[in-house]
Amino acid sequence: MKIIFFGSSDFSIPVLESLLSSKHSVILVITTPDQKKGRGQVLAPSVVKAFARQRYLTVEAPRKLSLPDVVQDIKKLNPDLIVIASYGKIVPSAIFMTPRIAALNVHPSLLPRHRGASPIQQAILEGDKKTGVSVAEVTSELDAGDLLGQVEIEIDKNENALELSKRLAEMGAKLLLQTLGQLEAGKINKIKQDVSKATYAKKLNKNDGQIDWATPASYIHNQVRAYYLWPMAFTFFRGKRLQILKTCCAETHSDACKPGTITDIKKESLDIQTQAGTIALIRVQLEGRRETSGFEFAIGQRIKKGERFE
């Protein structure tokens, strides 16, 4: 089958790779426009664009999908399928109605749970015990199409969003090929989503990572895991921004301390009182400095028990 692929993130790559290794033909890759990155704010392509170029694929990065020229160029290709995997933008109906067979979305959640832009982060943030990948038809309503395939996995209590995303991407790649095989064989079983069970994962912003120490240790631990890489969990100490990269819920506890108070300094970590329980900071990074252990941070900053994070 002739396929047009839409994607823009690391999650997209294994899905695209699986299509390239199959009997199907990827006739066009569409990704997001180049963005300014790094301290120098240099324009850089998406990871999908860079990958597509390495594989000598035809790749486009239109500013707007709704532009008439973009729509017409896609229609001229007469695709059998459109496959979307973490593209990051809404695909208009003028495009997703184009393929001969269907437009499919590889979505990293157990739909209808966690529809929307940040399903992996939301599953971790809410403390879900399991998540998965769904292959669903694309419709005008966000992530609401019929399900063609779904697999689930357990979420490890210390797994961060990057680690979980890698697992889900590999699963999604395999599930997509299975689904395409069933489509070709005419053995697909479509399942309508239960709207009453739908939840939504919002688009993240950079302030979502700020830690509120007056929340439970378990929630802060989930926040650190969910927002690993971006927007990153962070707090302030002595007026400087401190990114929290890795934590665990500590065994020690003191109700006598206010939330945000440093209760203990250990060789492995720095323990902080929360609204309910104590959390151990295992890996941190102070603005302008390299990543260190919580203990190294405490020693380097000459921190004493009883000091507080802002």
User: What are the residue ranges spanned by the domains of the chain?
Assistant: 2-201, 206-300
> Confidence class of residue 252 from pLDDT cuts 50, 70 and 90?
low
**What pLDDT does residue 17 have?**
99
> Residue 74, SS3?
helix
Q: Report the pLDDT averaged over residues 27-37.
A: 94
| Check whether domain 206-300 has CATH 3.40.50.300, yes or no | no
**What pLDDT does residue 53 have?**
97
Distance in angstroms (rounded) separating the CA atoms of residues 269 and 290: 16
Task: Give me the residue label for tokens 């190294």.
Answer: 296
Buried b (16+ CB within 10 A) or exposed e, 230-260: ebbbbbebeeeebbbbbbbbbeebeeebebb
Comparing 29-38, 134-143, 220-229, 277-286, the range with the smallest average pLDDT is 29-38
| CB of 295 closer than 8 Å to CB of 270 | yes
pTM of the predicted protein model? 0.95
Q: Is the pLDDT of residue 2 over 80?
A: yes
If phi > 0 it is left, if psi is from -120 to 50 it is alpha, else beta; for residue 41 that is left
**What pLDDT does residue 41 have?**
82
Comparing 5-9, 24-28, 37-41, 102-106, the range with the smallest average pLDDT is 37-41
Q: Report the pLDDT averaged over residues 107-119.
A: 99
> How does pLDDT run across 75-90, given as a tens digit for each residue?
999 999 999 999 999 9
**What pLDDT does residue 251 have?**
67
**What pLDDT does residue 254 have?**
64
Q: Is the pLDDT of residue 51 over 90?
A: yes
Q: Is the pLDDT of residue 198 over 80?
A: yes
DSSP state of 63: S
40 or 188: whose pLDDT is higher?
Answer: 188
Question: Is residue 184 classed exposed, middle or buried when 0-12, 13-18 and 19+ CB atoms within 10 A define those classes?
Answer: middle
| CB of 8 closer than 8 Å to CB of 48 | yes
Distance in angstroms (rounded) separating the CA atoms of residues 152 and 248: 25
Q: Is the pLDDT of residue 118 over 70?
A: yes
Distance in angstroms (rounded) separating the CA atoms of residues 28 and 239: 49
Selected from 3.40.50.720, 3.40.50.300, 3.90.1150.10, 3.40.50.170, the CATH number assigned to the domain covering 2-201 reads: 3.40.50.170
**What pLDDT does residue 302 have?**
96
CA distances from 73 to 41, 65, 68, 90, 149 (A): 31, 11, 9, 18, 30
Q: Is the pLDDT of residue 109 over 80?
A: yes
Q: Report the pLDDT averaged over residues 16-21.
A: 98
Q: Is the pLDDT of residue 246 over 70?
A: yes
Distance in angstroms (rounded) separating the CA atoms of residues 120 and 160: 9
